[in-house]
Structure 1
């Protein structure tokens, strides 16, 4: 078990009884299976670290996982995760947690394994999960931690984060909340006078109440500043309240006073340690400083409160101490120490020291950094590649080399998905002389922020300026093809992507070109060529997912559901989280269309959660649109409205034909569930009028929205237009016996109100798994039969429809079926049966029924095994069973 002892501010613990009581109360809640996140914030040196150290000894815990952020390690991928898992027992580690995960690892996959590890560590006592100075969490760790914390449910875990004021604003811990609860906040203020009296006693300084009041007023009770004055000032100055205390000095000044009082050898040791970082091996600090008696120097530095021992390492008690020392270094001494440090370490740390030691341009070092960036790019370490290229640009004496390296750095940011950082560099890139690379990067930035006209000009310039350089031509063509696809020019997109592939694109550009060409060929109507291109994708998980989506486009929802479920079930090894989001979203649609609404809801919720964690902008609109279908069909109006509005909002942020298609369909499905034909028509009318939206969708073969349009036209009284649209749609669904074919048959029967058409529609429905259209058809046919005097068969159909709709949970549609039964003088069947399972419980039940262990279920659903056990206990209670065997055999699905 890891403790926080020895890792702290070096200041004694005084006061903070209320804050400690709050934290121990949260620890007791975690012990009872009620996890939470607590953010402890305050100014630097206010006592956050000391409080967190005391919390680890406040009661029995199963384990303490601890990490501390550092500004110089923000760019180190998974640095915080590496600290957290350093002391994990071997049997709690997943493959990605044996050491700090590789930089290329998907952060969400790391988060999933960290979640599994927490599940293994939990016992009767809770796990204490502490990240101090969390504002300096590296991006990869932040995404992994947010993913983990968001999925704590009934776990014995308390997450405590130390955050420095001023509050950095929205950060990963705002995303990483347990359930829907925001983090609990504890803000540390200054100590009161009584606390300062106690602080004085721990430092052998007795303060009178009046002297404590004066010190409190003078320092605002800041414990680090107060402690510094207690150490620095003579006792008579502290106690003589008739004289003024020295003018307030900055923390750096206080530190430097202590540094100045050291023996020369001790001072050199502290200076060397400051250059080496917040913590470093003592041997390295000794070598860099050149001290003859390191033991005596270290003893003096520790007694002065400037360094602390941590095993074979030395560390500063607080980053501010190190920053104050480092900031006061004369340039010549600083550069010399960095040169010495570069000889003591290796890898990226050595490079960083060499860069810090450089004065002016250094062509040799810049070339080395560029070579490292090439290795980073080959390994897909995009952040490291960007950092190395930007440093190389700063060190480049040749303007052309500087420009190329700056552009390459921004290119790496875009490849790694760091759009915000890339946009901050856009002015610098635009200031460079024209080149193919500059135009390509500017064009990508413009395209990703919706400046499509400007992007087309820039990317076209990049293609022209590439000359005979095939790699550069391929890069420009690949991104120009993506822009063409977004704009709806699918022929141009397919042609440009094909040219890019023929030219042999770089590894980072090839996936873009291959994806665009496949989708563009489908959207152009050349399905044979698209099928061939898709086959060339091989057996990758992404290729299998796209094949499942294509099956859904072709109205084969059953095949799509089977294919996409297999990918999710098998954990899609090697599949990016972005691709998994889209696979889950389309699986949600496929299961909705075959009548598995509980499964659809579960897949949709998981897709939304992953999309939020992965930051998938394009996928956010699609996922919210597709996951709104079940919410609409079940009358969960607030949820459905929020998801539809989010899908529409994503389209406004990134306007493209696919976004309009998905969001308008979702809005129409919501209006359909509400029985509002006018709103259905309003949702679809802009789409009908825009050939740039309808054209690609029709050529792909996506048809359900056209059935919604026919229903809207009938509902608004435009029967002639409805008949014309229906005739066109009838031809489109020939030989495609899916959802839309049933809808076409139902709408034809409702438009003609002929028994023969209803009977033909039922024949179509019997050959399909489209449950909602079939139930609505049965409702309409039952109403027709009762009106025609055939009461018994009409009532039978209404009852069948009611049962089908009740099984789906389609409350608004079931209510209309109930109205028909009441109109026939009958009472709807009474609700009853076993308590229904929630989507989360249903997902757990299905996997357990397949024979999965709690750990395996947790890994699939991204929760801990303890959360699975909690859901399983509820499932047993609701179904009146007591074993996994009974669950597999009873009728609950």
Structure 2
């Protein structure tokens, strides 16, 4: 990203601003900040100078922004002085003259050291000043002394004005400059209007406040200099930084480091630099904090070192237990230590008040520094104090955690106490990420304190399971590797089975489906005599692996194995799983009448289940029965349950089936939004197979809109992952998306060829479920190419399924397919039947598709008047959905039916958008769902390239969309877009 590129500078609201030719270093996620700096430079080039103060916490990139901007400003620029009125061509010889100074702690008390460093490069210009000013300034630069009053600041300003080219003053860490130099700099900063001078200053956010307080408002950072506060990078920008630093880094490791850095650019760099070979290979857990002793760690340690001792004591207690409320914190403090001791930390920006009467660290890394730099004896004392005062009955797990951290008793007893308290904790109290202490850490600590080999192995296996459910696959793998290093003689068969279950789950969601199926089947057999419910659940997961692979034969084999294990006295959750497998197996055999009863029993049993993974299978049952509304309810409940239980890694999988329900209902705006959310969560939690599926859904949503390049990019990425991981369902879904695009564009032969590949059900690239869902497109394409035989065969499969569901939407699609294959006499009757069913259903988009096909048939039968009635309805719906290619087909048919159809310029939002979108301004409602996504990302400061990476588009496609967005909204710049969306 180069905000100072010609395109960016040219977009500033100054006419014909001179444009630097040099390219800045890549600074991801800083488009808004760089644009502000570009404006500052543009004003100076036009003789309207100014100053800007960049404030930010350590490591946020203040110095990087300053250096990047200075390097561009110093480069040669186009000579446009005659056009801009900026002067008589002086800048044609080069760029800005750049003066630099950086405040340092060692020279902070040396008067005028800052001015000496800043002005030394232009000291020769003293000769051009009036003798009195030259004498004042020379004495300062040579002796470091000056009289009071205006003489010195006026002389400095005169020297700066005497430079014959545009001037950029860069003062880094201005709060570290000596006070007299700061006063002079800020005097000049207030008087740059009408000058060809830009001043860029940086300071730490908290240090600026400290400097202001120390100086009483005089020598500190004044309030009348414009400020720009640097926040953390967003997730996508952080990922791009990591990609630049380590292009070959695995995706799940990249997600972990992005979370650990909390958007801090320096943290990202130091985390990557600290990685070991084991961490890079995934055999060790990734780092959770920047390395001790690194620049970022030292910066926070220096800030903490300036705080009073009693403040530090309270901070250590908060670091040891982030869930401490204020009352408990004061009880734990030393006698006489009041809450006022935290005021210094609040003023310094170290802590902030949180909800529920708590304090927390404003920057997460500070907690690690406070705790990590405290001597071991102080840490132990803090844990002992907390263990003593916490409520033994209601805070038992936290109390046990602190006792274990302080080694307050025999190690084995402490380990047992941790495990017992975790088991006794109420549901939801030990959720996943974010709870304290996190379950996987509790079990990991218990394993460290356990000497008995079998118990230690069991606790490591349980810790790995909790880490996986919390969305931490790298931590789960590292715990399993530690288990593997134990003496194999001490590991029981049950523990091996549970460990194999976690490995299989990891492989199922992020590895190869074939390996996952093998591992899960083995785990199921190991667990069968020890934990029946878990064994059956693992068997169903093995069937999931074969489903994802598109291996119907293996799925049926697993279902046959499950049938031999059924018992009449099984509890409801186990009964549900057996019914699910029975219903799915009958469906895959095409025996839908046999499938319906067990699938309905799944739905009857679902209310008694609170496991989100099991609820997913109930959601699938609803979809197979054609009950999309029930599928939406179940998937929504599963998502809520997963989040309540801290099982965040389950949410992307549930979203896959919620999206299927929305697809049948024609809610394409929601399909795109939920698929984007699913993709983000899948990447964060290391679920690459789920990420692939969401990419494929996004490709299908792009196909509906007729966005060819977006569809191809997303489908290509999904199919690539499908090939690498054995994901037949994803490959078939990506092929369906491309075929949808082909049908919409009239490339029927291409579509038919793609969908014949989707129809394979032998595990080599096809998928039975996607084959049936794609049948309407295949029949349309095959009918247009004369391949009636294959179309009829595919339709026979669809007919058997839709007849068993009774769903009007599905029956309408089958009726439409029959109309396409029927003779002239029967065709119209079938189309009318389809439309009648559509009107009883929910999917307006498919209704419009039937209207389009029916209208075309009527036109070819020389009934243009009747054709236009249906074609108008289709066109209106397609335009509402933003379905460009389908709308063009409808217009073409209307023109052939004798009606002129100008291109509309009104709103084209798909139905089914969230209520929040419907409340947008009328201007924003003119955007399609994808355009609105792009507009919001751009308004948040993302560059075209960052938007492209976030949405799996090409930068050229983003640029194209952005031009259309500006045109539809009647604006001309990103600044106007920010105002409009604010």
TM-score interval, normalised by the smaller of the two chains: 0.5 to 0.7
Q: In the alignment, what sits opposite 1:483?
A: 542
Match of 2:461 among 396, 402, 407: 407
Alpha-carbon contact 2:894-2:901 (below 8 Å) kept: no
Alpha-carbon distance, 1:421 to partner: 0.7
Distance 1:535 1:393, change over 3 A: same
Cα deviation code 1:516-557 (max 9, x no counterpart):
852663343332112112211117797998767645444x5x
Q: For residues 818-846 of structure 1, give each alpha carbon's deviation from its aligned partner in whole angstroms, at most 9, with x where no partner exists.
A: 3334445x343335586455779873376
Which of 725, 743, 764 aligns to 2:834? It is 764
How far off its partner does 1:613 sit? Answer: 3.8
User: In the TM superposition, what is the alpha-carbon distance from 1:720 to its structure 2 partner?
Assistant: 3.5
Specify every segment of 5 or more residues in structure 2 that has no aligned partner in the other structure, as ranges.
Answer: 1-29, 40-53, 63-104, 106-172, 177-201, 213-226, 239-253, 274-293, 322-328, 391-395, 548-553, 588-594, 922-932, 940-967, 970-982
Deviation at 1:726, TM superposition (A): 3.9
Pick one of 401, 412, 418 that aligns with 1:363.
412
Contact 2:513 2:725 in 1 (8 A): no
CA distance in 1: counterparts of 2:801 and 2:746, whole angstroms? 26
Task: Tell me the SS of whatever aligns to 1:689.
Answer: coil
Q: Distance in 2 between matches of 1:764 and 1:317?
A: 59
How far has the Cα of 1:685 moved from its partner? 3.4
Give the distance between the partners of 2:575 and 2:913, measured in 1 at CA.
41
Q: 1:485 to 1:569 in 2, by over 3 A?
A: closer
CA deviation map 1:585-622 (0-9, x unaligned): 6565555555x5xx431453145225524657365444
1:490–1:523 Cα contact (<8 Å) kept: yes
CA distance, structure 2, for counterparts of residue 568 and residue 127 of structure 1: 43
User: SS in structure 1 opposite 2:59?
Assistant: strand
Between the aligned partners of 1:684 and 1:448, the Cα distance in structure 2 is 31
Aligned to 1:197: none
Taking a change above 3 Å as real, the CA distance of residues 537 and 422 of structure 1, as seen in their structure-2 partners, is same
Check whether the contact 2:599–2:621 (CA below 8 A) recurs between aligned residues.
no
| Aligned residue in 1 for 2:780 | 711
The RMSD of aligned alpha carbons is 6.3
- The reply to whether residue 843 of structure 1 matches residue 899 of structure 2 is no
Matching residue within 900, 909, 912 for 1:828: 900
Q: Write out aligned runs for 1:430-441 (5 A).
A: 430-432=484-486, 433=488, 434=491, 435-441=493-499
Contact persistence 1:491–1:520 (CA under 8 A): no
Q: CA offsets, 1:446-468, max 9 Å, x none?
A: 44223555555555554555574
Question: In the TM superposition, what are the counterparts of 1:608-619 in structure 2 within 5 Å?
Answer: 608-609=676-677, 611-613=679-681, 615=684, 617=687, 619=690
For 2:367 and 2:854, how far apart are their aligned partners in 1? 80
Shift of 1:643: 4.0
Q: Does the CA contact (< 8 Å) of 1:275 and 1:337 recur in 2?
A: no
Q: Distance in 2 between matches of 1:544 and 1:446?
A: 20
What is the correspondence of 1:167-246 to structure 2 with a 5 Å cutoff? 167-168=270-271
TM-aligned CA distance change 1:741 to 1:51, over 3 Å: same
**1:571/1:23 Cα in 2 relative to 1: closer, same or farther (>3 Å)?**
farther
Secondary structure of the corresponding residue to residue 417 of structure 1: coil
Residues 185-219 of structure 1, C-alpha deviation per residue, up to 9 Å, x if partnerless? xxxxxxxxxxxxxxxxxxxxxxxxxxxxxxxxxxx
Deviations 1:360-395 (A, max 9, x none): 972222221222332359555456222122222222
Contact 1:775 1:801 in 2 (8 A): yes
In the TM superposition, what is the alpha-carbon distance from 1:740 to its structure 2 partner? 5.1
Give 1:420's match in structure 2, choosing from 451, 474, 478.
474
Distance 1:375 1:382, change over 3 A: farther
Q: Which residue of 1 aligns with 2:892?
A: 819
Counterparts of 1:308 and 1:809, CA distance in 2: 48
Paired residues in the alignment total 635
3-state SS of the aligned residue for 1:675? coil
CA drift of 1:743 comes to 4.3
The 1-side partners of 2:472 and 2:906 are apart by 49
Indicate how the Cα distance of structure 1 residues 351 and 842 shifts in structure 2: closer, same or farther if over 3 A, else same: closer
Are 1:722 and 2:791 matched, yes or no? yes
Query: 1:405-434, CA deviations, whole angstroms, 9 ceiling, x for partnerless residues?
Result: 222221222333322210122322223324
Give deviations 1:550-595, integer Å, cap 9, x for gaps: 45444x5xx52x446667999986564777767766565555555x
Counterparts of 1:102-113 in structure 2, within 5 Å, are: none
Cα distance per residue 1:793-830 (max 9 Å; x no partner): 45555455444544544331232333334445x34333
> Following the alignment from structure 1 to structure 2, what is the Cα–Cα distance between the partners of residues 316 and 728?
59
**Structure 2 length normalisation: TM-score?**
0.51
- Indicate how the Cα distance of structure 1 residues 405 and 504 shifts in structure 2: closer, same or farther if over 3 A, else same: farther
Within a 5 Å distance, the mapping from 1:683-702 to structure 2 comes to 683-692=754-763, 697=768
Contact 1:430 1:438 in 2 (8 A): no
Give the structure 2 partner of residue 194 of structure 1. none
Whole-Å Cα distance in 2 between the matches of residues 752 and 316 of structure 1? 69
- 1:373 to 2:422 alignment: yes
**Structure 1 residues without counterparts, runs of 5 or longer:** 1-18, 29-35, 60-125, 136-141, 148-158, 171-219, 228-250, 260-265, 288-292, 850-860, 868-877, 880-893
Asked whether the 8 Å contact 1:494–1:518 carries over to 2, the reply is no
Tell me the residue number matched to 1:674. Answer: 745
Partner of 2:451: 397
The correspondence of residues 48-67 of structure 1 with structure 2, limited to 5 A, is: 51-53=204-206
CA distance in 2, matches of 1:752, 1:312: 71
Structure 2 matches for 1:472-871, cutoff 5 A? Answer: 473-488=532-547, 489-491=554-556, 493-494=558-559, 514=576, 518=580, 521-525=583-587, 526-538=595-607, 550-554=621-625, 556=626, 560=628, 562-563=629-630, 574=641, 576=643, 590=661, 593=664, 599-609=667-677, 611-613=679-681, 615=684, 617=687, 619-649=690-720, 651-652=722-723, 654-692=725-763, 697=768, 703-727=772-796, 729-730=798-799, 732-734=801-803, 736=806, 738-739=808-809, 741-751=811-821, 754-769=824-839, 771-772=844-845, 774-794=847-867, 796-799=869-872, 801-824=874-897, 826-832=898-904, 835-836=907-908, 843-844=915-916
CA distance in 1: counterparts of 2:661 and 2:427, whole angstroms: 37
d(CA) in 1 for partners of 2:315, 2:807: 72
Partner of 1:444: 502
**Distance (whole Å) between structure 2 residues aligned to residue 376 and residue 502 of structure 1:** 32
What are the residue-to-residue correspondences of 1:330-345 with 2, within 5 Å? 337=381, 341=385, 344-345=388-389
Change (3 A) 1:52 1:529: same
Q: CA deviation at 1:792?
A: 4.4
For residues 34 and 860 of structure 2, the distance between their equivalents in structure 1, rounded to whole angstroms, comes to: 69
Equivalent runs, 1:320-339 vs 2, <5 Å = 337=381
Q: Cα gap change, 1:768/1:831 in structure 2, threshold over 3 Å: closer, same or farther?
A: same
Partner of 1:6: none
Supply the distance in 2 between the matched residues of 1:312 and 1:802 (Cα, whole angstroms): 57
Q: Following the alignment from structure 1 to structure 2, what is the Cα–Cα distance between the partners of residues 665 and 574?
A: 32
- Is residue 308–residue 316 contact of structure 1 (8 Å, CA) maintained in 2? yes
Go from structure 1 to structure 2 and tell me whether the alpha carbon gap of 1:726 and 1:338 turns closer, same or farther (over 3 Å shift): closer
